[in-house]
Amino acid sequence: MNVVVVGGGSWGTAFARLLADHGHTVTLACRDAEQAAAIRATGRNPRYLTDIDLTGVDAASIADAPVADANLVVVAVPSASFGEVVRALPGSAPVLSLTKGLDPVTEDRLSTLVTDRPVAVLSGPNIAEEVARGLPAAAVIACESLPLAVQLQLAITSSAFRVYVNDDLVGVELCAAAKNVIALAAGGADGLGLGDNAKAALVTRGLVEMGRLAEVAGARPETFAGLAGMGDLIVTCWSKSGRNRRCGELVARGATPAEAAREIGMVVEGLTTAPILRDLAHRLGVEMPITEGVCAVLDGIPLTELLARLMERDPTVE
């Protein structure tokens, strides 16, 4: 396939390497021409995953990338930019979204912004650095069109990257968004030194509220027990490379959310997603206490106060 990967960050870079290793013709479309020129000249991304060899991957600015001639456009940009990017895409090739979040303008799932072409979503426990190094990983592709999902599955699956198919697009996208918010809370637990018991309880109850949202939103609860749900939640909440976990840890140690994001130096999707997810839960009448608590901390209440609120809630059944 002739594939254009839009987004020269860590995940876009790793996925471009993965596709090229699978024999596809790949162009990595970067935000600016300077980054693209450096990749063409050195075979390295000068900003992200700088030690990964990109030999065999072409690079261009987004404006100059051969999107109109592509068989597939992979979009790996921040959620805040997703709508603008997909609306400007020429041609009619299907879009495969790697972005995990919700649209801050419409407060809707990102796939709903792709209205002029088929769209699929890839999600799962996929730390970019590990995928780029060829370490074993698995993911799920969700799409309303089973033939397209299977086509993409066959185009991407390799001995190091196993892809499953799922037709629950709503569930997979909500998993991808919600897990980042829970990871902020998990990082807070790390930053406060609350221990493994507390963190495991927090993550487990986070999965419960993710599933509660899924049921009301029309998704299948079992999706939240799969790769896009529990799998991605586990790796996001425990990986030292997880931006959202790291951001929560820094906030727990005294940084403001803005200071934490600056120190990390990359987009922390949970910061954008948390208030959108909370508002969605309000509209659907779903109780999501951890998400509410994360938003309260982002608004300035001490993390220790949030902990007290969660632990002092009325006892209930599991």
- Specify whether 179 is catalytic: yes
Residues 205, 211, 213, 214, Cα dihedral to 10°? 170
Q: What is the DSSP letter of 230?
A: I
State the maximum Cα–Cα separation within the chain, in Å, rounded to a whole number: 61
In 3D space, the residue among 223, 115, 145, 129 whose CA is nearest the CA of residue 178 turns out to be 223
CA–CA separation, 223 and 214 (whole Å): 9
SS3 139: strand
Which phi and psi angles does 226 have, rounded to 5°? -105, -160
DSSP state, residue 228? I
Query: Which residue in 100, 179, 199, 240 is the catalytic one?
Result: 179
- Alpha-carbon torsion, ordered 67, 153, 9, 260, to 10 deg: 140
CA–CA dist 48, 27 (Å, integer): 16
Task: Give the residue numbers marked as catalytic.
Answer: 179
